Chains A and B, each alone.
Chain A
Amino acid sequence: MSAGRLRRILVLHLAIVGALFAVQFFLPDYHHTNVARILVLATFAIGYNLLFGYTGLMSLGHAMFFAAGMYACGLCIYYFNVGAPGGFALGVVAGGTLAAVFGLVALRTSGVSFLIVTMMFGQACYLTLLYFNEITLGDQGFTLSSNLDALHRAGAGLAYSDPDVKYNAAWLVFTGAFLVSALIAASPIGRVLIAVRGNEERTRLLGYNTFAYKWLALCLSGAIAGAAGAAYAVLFSYVGASFASILYSIYPLLWTLLGGAGTTLGPLLGTGIMFYLIDITSGWTNAYLFVVGGSLLALVLWFPQGVMGAVRARWARWLP
């Protein structure tokens, strides 16, 4: 890769991060909160995209990493009053650790078997949360606002219910994940991950321990999903088992496909488009899922590589 291309990639990604920071001063209140939420969910999609888009491993169990982060963070704040930063760090560690252990088992499979194993583990995690309902409060869910507010009043934490704090915290989490994923994608490691996606055996004979690379991608993916889950718990104050359900494994897949799998910008774009598609169409009709489904069909028919995939193929081959 030429130095010129690397510079272009760096400038583009920093510009996007900068624009997302600046836009908070112009957004009306309603969209201000929406964008904060999109940034957190897009972080989840970025983690998913590292595994699915770049490494070619399709998971239907990613909700477990999101929920691991959310519950590790949420429960520690709820029961032990650790502050939000500590809770967030625990969330990242929980997502990454779960992925690391899970990967040692699941990565022995590939293709459809991998898909099924991830789905089953995901469901097992979901049911576990419900089974230990007395501790997890999984079926009703719980909120963190009283704990976080108390900490704030005691001078030991920010007011996470304040929209500005919320936006900037979401922006910070997103920026971290976004830049990590761009760094990986543009580095030689990214080239190896793409090679694993294309032809694993060939990659092995080029001297790469492909299991280690897949495991690395899964760990990173799980840690980033955990970060998103923890951030969601703190910023939107609600923790519940529904976030571990299969729906939250399908969402990141849809967001990534829509925005463009295997592109650094795809997850953000896909999450944003889907969010506003639902937001706007549900204002028109109760049958908004028809509109959503229809647009997904159109996407599959005409832009199978997603929005950014199509942009890259047509206009900007240098995009990572």
Chain B
Amino acid sequence: MTALLATDGLSKRFGGLLAVDGVCFEVPAGQIRAVIGPNGAGKTTLMGLISGRLTPSAGHILFNGRDVTRQRAWDRARSGIVYTFQVTSVFPELSCYENVALAAQRQLTRGMFGQLILDEKRLGGRVREALRQVGLVDVETQVASALPYGHQRLLEVAMSLALEPRLLILDEPTQGLANAEIDTLCAHVREIAARITVVIIEHNMPVVLDLADWITVMERGAVLAEGPPAQIAGDPDVQRAYLGT
């Protein structure tokens, strides 16, 4: 089986710092892949390169067999690589509905002027479907800034889903959530992963071991180890670098 996503010798240099150093990272379709590693290991930078927020200093990115290294961020989002931010970044002054509509209308229209007229019924259906998947239908008219933090994170996920991703990158989705909210989020992620390939950056090890099919461990910009959860949890190198035991 060919990988949905593959990077080849991917590097990113910030001045004197090599944040990502020749990473070869492959994710087969249908997997939940966790990326773990200590702070500053280059996880978010790697995802930035994959989503197009950052341009690589060297290397290639293949998505679905196509080289997307030079593709701009907005085109990548359209072709199915969707990134949700580490820091919550919903549009605070817009309602939940409007937030998700922004994502959904992109997939319903062609070009800029296609957006002057849009089938609002069809859009509404898409928006509600995305909100339903994260359990936020009841609050669609609320302004995003009025939502509790946990719901704002779910709203982010709903926005990403409305983009109809093929690869969904979740950057520390459980950060700052209470235990009950983490359980809800994990349940949603598992549901989503039935249809969509998921890459999740996460520090919370119980969540990682529970969700991931396969784990990539990063350290100092490079891949330290890869394998199924059981193997990674028992790897002495990983324990030294990350688990601290």
Which residues of A are interface residues toward B (Cβ below 8 A)?
1-3, 6, 183, 187-189, 191-192, 194-195, 198-199, 201-210, 212-213, 216
Asked if residues B94 and A188 are in contact (CB atoms below 8 Å), the reply is no
* B186 interface residue per 8 A CB criterion: no
Which residues of B are interface residues toward A (Cβ below 8 A)?
51-53, 72-75, 77-78, 82-83, 85, 89, 91-94, 98, 101-103, 105-107, 109, 112, 115-118, 120, 123-124, 159, 163
Query: Out of A2, A187, A198, A209, which one reaches B118, CB within 8 Å?
Result: A187
Asked if residues A191 and B98 are in contact (CB atoms below 8 Å), the reply is yes
Asked if residues A192 and B53 are in contact (CB atoms below 8 Å), the reply is no
Given contacts A198-B92, A205-B53, A206-B159, is CB(A183)–CB(B116) below 8 Å?
yes
Q: Measured between C-beta atoms, what is the minimum distance from B106 to chain A in Å?
A: 4
Asked if residues B115 and A194 are in contact (CB atoms below 8 Å), the reply is no
Asked if residues B89 and A209 are in contact (CB atoms below 8 Å), the reply is no
Asked if residues A195 and B112 are in contact (CB atoms below 8 Å), the reply is no
Asked if residues A202 and B91 are in contact (CB atoms below 8 Å), the reply is yes
Give Cα distance in the complex from A154 to B130, angstroms: 65
Given contacts A206-B163, A208-B74, A209-B74, is CB(A195)–CB(B118) below 8 Å?
no
Give Cα distance in the complex from A188 to B98, angstroms: 10
Pairs across A and B, CB under 8 Å, 27 listed = A1-B101, A1-B120, A2-B124, A3-B120, A183-B116, A187-B115, A187-B117, A188-B101, A188-B123, A189-B116, A191-B94, A191-B98, A194-B91, A195-B102, A198-B92, A199-B91, A204-B53, A204-B74, A205-B53, A205-B74, A205-B77, A206-B106, A207-B74, A207-B103, A207-B163, A209-B72, A213-B112
Residues of B within 8 A of A206 (CB): 74, 77, 102-103, 106, 159, 163
Give Cα distance in the complex from A36 to B109, angstroms: 40
Residues of A within 8 A of B98 (CB): 1, 191
Residues of A within 8 A of B74 (CB): 204-210
Asked if residues B105 and A188 are in contact (CB atoms below 8 Å), the reply is yes
Residues of B within 8 A of A202 (CB): 85, 89, 91
Q: Measured between C-beta atoms, what is the minimum distance from B180 to chain A in Å?
A: 27
Most-contacted residue by chain B among A183, A199, A208, A210 (CB, 10 A): A208
Query: Out of B72, B115, B117, B120, which one reaches A192, CB within 8 Å?
Result: B115
Classify the secondary structure of A's interface with B.
Answer: helix
Give Cα distance in the complex from A136 to B159, angstroms: 53
Q: Which residue of A lies closest to B108 (CB)?
A: A188
Q: Measured between C-beta atoms, what is the minimum distance from B196 to chain A in Å?
A: 16
Query: Out of B73, B94, B101, which one reaches A205, CB within 8 Å?
Result: B73
Given contacts A198-B91, A199-B91, is CB(A189)–CB(B163) below 8 Å?
no
Q: Measured between C-beta atoms, what is the minimum distance from B64 to chain A in Å?
A: 17
Give Cα distance in the complex from A98 to B106, angstroms: 29
Residues of B within 8 A of A192 (CB): 102, 115
Across the A-B interface, the 5 shortest Cβ-Cβ residue pairs: A207-B77, A188-B115, A207-B106, A198-B91, A207-B78
Query: Out of B94, B103, B107, B159, which one reaches A198, CB within 8 Å?
Result: B94
Q: Measured between C-beta atoms, what is the minimum distance from B137 to chain A in Å?
A: 15
Residues of A within 8 A of B77 (CB): 204-207
Give Cα distance in the complex from A117 to B171, angstroms: 36
Give Cα distance in the complex from A286 to B112, angstroms: 51
Q: Which residue of B lies closest to A198 (CB)?
A: B91
Q: Measured between C-beta atoms, what is the minimum distance from A279 to chain B in Å?
A: 35
Q: Which residue of B lies closest to A262 (CB)?
A: B93
Given contacts A198-B94, A202-B85, A202-B91, is CB(A208)–CB(B116) below 8 Å?
no
Most-contacted residue by chain A among B91, B106, B107, B117 (CB, 10 A): B91
Most-contacted residue by chain B among A2, A207, A212 (CB, 10 A): A207
Asked if residues A191 and B53 are in contact (CB atoms below 8 Å), the reply is no
Q: Measured between C-beta atoms, what is the minimum distance from A192 to chain B in Å?
A: 7
Give Cα distance in the complex from A48 to B137, angstroms: 37
Given contacts A198-B94, A199-B91, A205-B51, is CB(A187)–CB(B116) below 8 Å?
yes
Q: Measured between C-beta atoms, what is the minimum distance from B140 to chain A in Å?
A: 11
Asked if residues B112 and A199 are in contact (CB atoms below 8 Å), the reply is no
Q: Which residue of B lies closest to A213 (CB)?
A: B112
Asked if residues A208 and B106 are in contact (CB atoms below 8 Å), the reply is yes
Residues of B within 8 A of A203 (CB): 102
Q: Measured between C-beta atoms, what is the minimum distance from B53 to chain A in Å?
A: 7
Residues of A within 8 A of B85 (CB): 202, 205
Residues of A within 8 A of B120 (CB): 1-3, 6
Residues of B within 8 A of A189 (CB): 112, 115-116
